[in-house]
Amino acid sequence: GAGVSQSPSNKVTEKGKDVELRCDPISGHTALYWYRQSLGQGLEFLIYFQGNSAPDKSGLPSDRFSAERTGGSVSTLTIQRTQQEDSAVYLCASSPPSALAKNIQYFGAGTRLSVL
């Protein structure tokens, strides 16, 4: 498809389990972002990948959260030992490399995570 694809769209898990969320960015986009959106809140930045540079992990809330981006394309966000406060919508966005357009983010529809 032409847009940012996230899977699964919904994930229900039990407290203490690990989950993996996937993001497939738009082909050719070098930048990739993960955000968390809790009910009634704005977007909380989690992590940023830009090309082959080291990712900016400054937004990860704890060491239970990690992310990787393989081959400069698909990214996986992993949450270990999930807690109920991890319940949120996780959004992925990508940006193209061109100077004029690189500030524009294209968002996926998100993964709604529910931790029981």
Partner 1 sequence: AQSVTQLDSHVSVSEGTPVLLRCNYSSSYSPSLFWYVQHPNKGLQLLLKYTSAATLVKGINGFEAEFKKSETSFHLTKPSAHMSDAAEYFCVVRGDPWGGSYIPTFGRGTSLIVHP
Residues 62-101 that bind partner 1 (CB under 8 A): 91, 93
Q: Find the shortest distance in angstroms from Cβ 30 to partner 1.
A: 12
Residue 59 CA to its chain's centroid (Å): 11
Binding mask 23-52 for partner 1 (x = CB under 8 A): ----------x-x-----xxx-x--x-x--
Three-state secondary structure readout of 39-72: CCCCEEEEEEEECCCCCECCCCCCCCEEEEEHHH
Q: What is the number of H-type helices and E-type strands within the chain?
A: 0, 10
Among 68, 104, 114, 116, binds partner 1 (CB under 8 A): 104
Q: Find the shortest distance in angstroms from Cβ 16 to partner 1.
A: 28
